[in-house]
Amino acid sequence: MCIFCKIIKQEIPAHVIYEDDLVLAIFDISQVTKGHTLIMPKKHYANIYEADDAVLERMIIVSRQLAGRLKKKFNASGINILNNNEPAAGQTVEHLHFHIIPRYDENDSIICEFRPSGINVGQVAAEWK
Ligand code: 5GP
Ligand code: ZN
Per-residue pLDDT reduced to its tens digit, 107-118: 888 988 899 999
Which pLDDT score, from 0 to 100, does residue 107 have? Answer: 84
Q: Is the pLDDT of residue 60 over 90?
A: yes
Which pLDDT score, from 0 to 100, does residue 2 have? Answer: 98
What ligand is nearest to the CA atom of residue 97?
A: 1
Active site residue 36: no
pTM here?
0.97
Which pLDDT score, from 0 to 100, does residue 40 have? Answer: 99
Distance (angstroms) between ligand 2 centre and the Cα of 11 equals: 12
C-beta 92 within 6 A of ligand 1: yes
Per-residue DSSP letters for the chain?
--HHHHHHTTSS---EEEE-SSEEEEE-SS-SSTT-EEEEESS--SSTTT--HHHHHHHHHHHHHHHHHHHHHHT-SEEEEE---SGGGT--SSS--EEEEEE--TTSS-----------HHHHHHHH-
